[in-house]
Amino acid sequence: MASDYMKTESLGSSASWPGKNSLLPHLDMELTERCNNRCIHCYINQPENDAQLKVRELSTDEIKAIVKDAAGLGCMSIRFTGGEPLLREDFSEIYLFTRRQGIRVTLFTNATLMDEALTDLFVKYPPGSPVEVTLYGMTSDSYEAISLVKGSFAKAMAGIGLLRKKGIPFYVKSIYFKGREADKEAFADFVEKDLSADTPPAFSMNFDLRARRDMPAKVDFIKSLRVSPEESVVALEKYKDAYIKDSRRFARKFMGPAGDRLFNCGCGKGGSVDAYGFFQPCLLLRHPESVYDLKKGSFKQALQVFFPELREKISTNGKYLQRCAGCFLHGFCDQCPAKSWMEHGLLDEPVEYCCELAHAKARFLGLLGDKERAWEVKDWKVRLDRFVTHG
């Protein structure tokens, strides 16, 4: 709608309009690392009742101050995640405060703590973005084999039921690994038939390792759950046409060798505040050299000085320079400082799993031959041009 005095625009999927030139268009906030589920593949979860962690978490006032600062820098959207953000008794207060700054909210939750009061609040003050719910199983057995908490499936479904009953927009997301084929089908049916979703069911299957590099036994277990690169490609088969279309669009913008600079994504142009007030350049990157203590500084300082300096970093790792720096699958590969940190504790060590995954996808799309290594391909420009224009 336009008039003599005002024009209307919808945020739509854009997180940043109209603050696209703002210092901080979008912010992630991890309200707690604690979770009432104990999911076997999770990269961050800590015990629900860990008193030591709870006492270290930001207070309500500290969170509000951060949200207010973010608004002052033009922030239009905040994603609240965890752990389970609804474990915080002050979640409703934080939520309403954020909305009252004119910031829309995306909530990542397992929905087990969703209740009448919170859903009523969402009805009165809509988040502005769909709630994103993890639903790691379609029966109590399959869900609780992941969550390790008896009764959690019923609570999650009750939470989803409340969202549906109140007409609050939401998505569900699941996981897949070997042995969970039946559940995968059941989830896809639920998404397509019960929820009438207009997007394909979302499964995570290439799990991240622990973002704090803790729990070594769990790290090994998460690795064992990961779907092999070849299996990942098989999973794409069902949505091949849509995948190829997306990949073409993506390739046009982002593919080609990145060189020796480590940060080639949006990392550090916004960021993520952890549960204790440390500002990270992205949700996953917690390398000590890359995090900024907001209790000792400001968003502005982090965004104008600390992160830009970080983004200038170049690799001196021979293996990285030989492989990743010259690889045309860059942009298509998940290799990044955060993945390298989680896998190796460094910012620039090639992550074999990401590399193999990118190669498998490139072969699936016809960009690489069976034995080829992407960083050795000389005619990559021709291949990309052909792919982008003809597929």
Partner 1 sequence: MEIDVNAVYLPSEDVVARKIDDAFILVPIASGVGSMEDELYTLNETGHIIWEGLAPGRRVVDLAKSLAEEYDASEEEIRQDIQGILTELLKLNMIHKDG
Q: What is the DSSP letter of 85?
A: G
Nearer to partner 1, 16 or 206 (CB): 16
Residue 55 binds to partner 1 (criterion: CB under 8 A):
no
Residue 13 binds to partner 1 (criterion: CB under 8 A):
no
Closest of 251, 209, 246, 240 to residue 364, by C-alpha: 240
Residue 276 binds to partner 1 (criterion: CB under 8 A):
no
Nearer to partner 1, 101 or 228 (CB): 101
Closest of 346, 211, 355, 353 to residue 285, by C-alpha: 211
DSSP string, 278-307: EEESSSS---GGG-EETTTS-HHHIIIIIH
Nearer to partner 1, 43 or 125 (CB): 125
Residue 18 binds to partner 1 (criterion: CB under 8 A):
yes
Q: Which residue has the tokens 């389970």?
A: 84
Interaction with partner 1 in 127-146: which residues (CB under 8 A)?
Answer: 128
Report how far Cα 197 is from the mean position of its chain's Cα atoms: 20
Site string for partner 1, 75-114 (x = CB under 8 A): -x----------------------xxxx-x----------
Per CB under 8 A, the segment of 18-26, 29-37, 108-116, 263-271 that binds partner 1 is 18-26
What would the two tokens of residue 357 be?
A: 């995954």
Say if residues 233 and 202 touch (Cβ distance below 8 Å).
no
Classified as helix, coil or strand, 122 is: helix
Nearer to partner 1, 6 or 217 (CB): 6
Site string for partner 1, 62-81 (x = CB under 8 A): ---------x--x-x-----
Residue 11 binds to partner 1 (criterion: CB under 8 A):
yes
Tell me how far, at minimum, the Cβ of 165 lies from partner 1, in Å: 16
Q: What is the DSSP letter of 206?
A: S
Classified as helix, coil or strand, 275 is: coil
Rounded CA-CA distance 390/39 in Å is 42
Residue 6 binds to partner 1 (criterion: CB under 8 A):
yes
- In this chain, which of 13, 21, 52, 196 binds partner 1, going by CB under 8 A? 21
Residue 300 binds to partner 1 (criterion: CB under 8 A):
no
Rounded CA-CA distance 19/24 in Å is 8
Report how far Cα 255 is from the mean position of its chain's Cα atoms: 21
What would the two tokens of residue 222 be?
A: 């998460």
Rounded CA-CA distance 381/151 in Å is 54
Residue 5 binds to partner 1 (criterion: CB under 8 A):
yes
Per CB under 8 A, the segment of 16-24, 142-150, 311-319, 334-342 that binds partner 1 is 16-24
Per CB under 8 A, the segment of 123-131, 202-210, 345-353, 361-369 that binds partner 1 is 123-131
Residues in contact with partner 1 by CB under 8 A are 1, 3-11, 17-22, 71, 74, 76, 99-102, 104, 123-126, 128
